């Protein structure tokens, strides 16, 4: 494999690993804050116990997020020196702001995790506010830099050298509003469904105690609100991409010929060599309608662009279909849960629904990862859209193959150990649970 492929493989693995912990770093603090707040407000020991239990798990998750994020800071230079030499001064502002947000999150998390006995209950609860805010701010800041790679603005270059920079214009580029908001709500979506899956599994295995009866509805509340917002912002994003990066849009929709009254292709296999997508269910005029509001509008297909500017159509189309399909299924799951809860005036714990929620946890992670696949694979061959090709940005170092192998092993080891520890932690917490936590179910 050449250096560009290996650099992309290492960066993609690192990002795909880190993002799982990053989204939990955004969402978990909000859940902990709400649980502890309700516990203090109602003098409810079970809510407080829940916040403590989540904090123990979150300590592990946050640390893995912190070290895998550090890997990314290094890898920006180690793998993409050409990209960083050009764009460091342009996108440095949101990165530095993210640095501060992360700093604040780390500091207050230290206070939160180790301060249960040292701070008053109210002061302890209040330390949750900067954690939740800085977690969300980190996501907003860091996605700004990715948005800039999609919509590079705010600088003047001459002879490959950046000579003038407007850092604010670069940070608040055209892609920022849609990408930023869509990622933030997706972080809450993944957290909601991931936590719900843990407690749905607990119910299924007969551990449905007072903590489970509090945790599952809270997680599902976050999940359903976030899915609704993710649907709206996802739709906005797609329509934005249609105008901003029509090649990416054509690839995600599997559309080859430029078409008036374009149909929406559901599923299907794009065959770039034959310039067509086969085996898709086509709904006439729907793509034009969804994209522009006019069923007869013309949508540019891949054939309107030179083939060397096409991304990997198969990956982009497949990822996009998976993201949309799973996203809709997740939203349906959330609505169903609350529909049943409202009708029965009690949170539902039917076996089939719990099984679906257990599946929804990993599915939400896949939804988010495939969303990033669309963004990243869809932008190729560019690292900075229309400005710098990915192949021009990669490092020339000879040691990339072993690096990739080692990082894969490290991430595998970290992931497996973390999973094992979280399971053990849950087991131990149940054994040590006080009577109030294990009050019998109604």
Q: Which is nearer to other proteins, 9 or 302 (CB)?
A: 9
Instruction: Check binding of 95 to other proteins (CB under 8 A).
Output: yes
Instruction: Check binding of 375 to other proteins (CB under 8 A).
Output: no
Nearest distance, CB of residue 314 and other proteins, angstroms: 32
Instruction: Check binding of 104 to other proteins (CB under 8 A).
Output: yes
Beta strands 264-266 and 281-283 are antiparallel
- The pattern of x and - marking residues 148 through 177 that bind other proteins according to CB under 8 A reads --------------xxxxxxx---------
> What is the Cα–Cα distance from 424 to 422, expressed in whole angstroms?
5
Instruction: Check binding of 42 to other proteins (CB under 8 A).
Output: no
Q: Which is nearer to other proteins, 355 or 419 (CB)?
A: 419
Report the residue from 82, 217, 263, 334 that binds other proteins according to the rule CB under 8 A: 82
> What is the Cα–Cα distance from 311 to 245, expressed in whole angstroms?
11
Beta strands 298-299 and 281-283 are unpaired
Instruction: Check binding of 116 to other proteins (CB under 8 A).
Output: no
Helix (H, G, I), strand (E, B) or coil at 155: strand
Instruction: Check binding of 81 to other proteins (CB under 8 A).
Output: yes
> What is the Cα–Cα distance from 274 to 265, expressed in whole angstroms?
16
Q: Which is nearer to other proteins, 201 or 340 (CB)?
A: 201
Instruction: Check binding of 406 to other proteins (CB under 8 A).
Output: yes
Instruction: Check binding of 67 to other proteins (CB under 8 A).
Output: yes
Name which of residues 198 to 257 contact other proteins (CB under 8 A).
none
- The string of DSSP letters for 27-82 reads HHHHHHHHHHHHHHHHT-HHHHHHHHHHHHHHHHHHHHHHHHHHHHHHHHHHH-HH
Q: Which is nearer to other proteins, 103 or 339 (CB)?
A: 103
Bridge partners, 112 (sequence order) = none
Chain center to CA of 237: 14
Among 115, 110, 21, smallest CA distance to 71 is for 21
Question: How many residues line the site for other proteins (CB under 8 A)?
Answer: 73
Among 209, 215, 262, smallest CA distance to 434 is for 209
Report the residue from 173, 321, 364, 395 that binds other proteins according to the rule CB under 8 A: 395
Name which of residues 408 to 437 contact other proteins (CB under 8 A).
410, 414, 417-418, 420-421, 424-425, 427-428
Phi, psi at residue 22, to the nearest 5°? -65, -45
Among 186, 244, 229, 236, smallest CA distance to 372 is for 186
Instruction: Check binding of 115 to other proteins (CB under 8 A).
Output: yes
């Amino acid at each position: 494999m050449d250096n560009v492929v290996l650099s992309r493989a290492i960066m993609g693995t690192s990002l795909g690993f880190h993002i799982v912990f990053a989204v939990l770093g955004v969402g978990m603090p909000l859940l902990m804050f709400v649980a502890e707040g309700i516990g203090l407000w109602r003098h409810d020991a079970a809510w407080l116990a829940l916040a403590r239990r989540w904090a123990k798990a979150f300590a592990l998750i946050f640390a893995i997020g912190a070290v895998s994020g550090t890997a990314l800071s290094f890898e920006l230079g180690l793998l993409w020196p050409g990209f960083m030499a050009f764009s460091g001064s342009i996108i440095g502002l949101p990165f530095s702001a993210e640095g501060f947000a992360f700093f604040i999150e780390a500091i207050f998390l230290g206070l939160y995790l180790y301060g249960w006995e040292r701070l008053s209950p109210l002061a302890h609860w209040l330390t949750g506010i900067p954690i939740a805010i800085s977690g969300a701010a980190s996501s907003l800041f860091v996605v700004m830099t990715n948005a800039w790679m999609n919509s590079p603005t705010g600088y003047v270059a001459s002879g490959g050298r950046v000579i003038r920079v407007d850092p604010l214009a670069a940070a608040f580029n055209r892609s920022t509003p849609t990408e930023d908001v869509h990622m933030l709500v997706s972080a809450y979506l993944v957290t909601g469904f991931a936590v719900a899956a843990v407690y749905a599994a607990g119910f299924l295995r007969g551990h449905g105690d007072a903590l489970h009866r509090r945790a599952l509805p809270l997680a599902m509340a976050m999940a359903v609100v976030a899915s609704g917002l993710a649907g709206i912002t996802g739709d906005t994003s797609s329509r934005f991409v249609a105008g901003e990066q029509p090649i990416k849009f054509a690839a995600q929709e599997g559309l080859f010929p430029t078409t008036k009254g374009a149909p929406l292709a559901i599923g299907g296999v794009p065959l770039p060599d034959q310039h067509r997508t086969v085996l898709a269910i086509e709904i006439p005029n729907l793509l034009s309608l969804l994209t522009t509001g006019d069923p007869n509008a013309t949508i540019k297909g891949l054939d309107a662009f030179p083939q060397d500017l096409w991304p990997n159509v198969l990956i982009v189309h497949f990822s996009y279909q998976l993201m949309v399909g799973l996203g809709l299924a997740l939203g349906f799951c959330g609505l169903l849960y609350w529909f049943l809860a409202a009708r029965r005036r009690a949170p539902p714990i039917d076996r089939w629904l719990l099984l679906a929620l257990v599946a929804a946890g990993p599915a939400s992670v896949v939804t988010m990862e495939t969303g990033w696949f669309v963004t990243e694979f869809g932008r190729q061959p560019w690292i900075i859209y229309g400005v710098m090709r990915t192949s021009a940005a990669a490092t020339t170092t000879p040691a990339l193959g072993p690096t990739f192998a080692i990082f894969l092993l490290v991430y595998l080891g970290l992931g497996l150990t973390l999973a094992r520890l979280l399971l053990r932690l849950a087991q131990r917490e149940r054994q040590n649970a006080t009577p109030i936590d294990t009050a019998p179910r109604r």
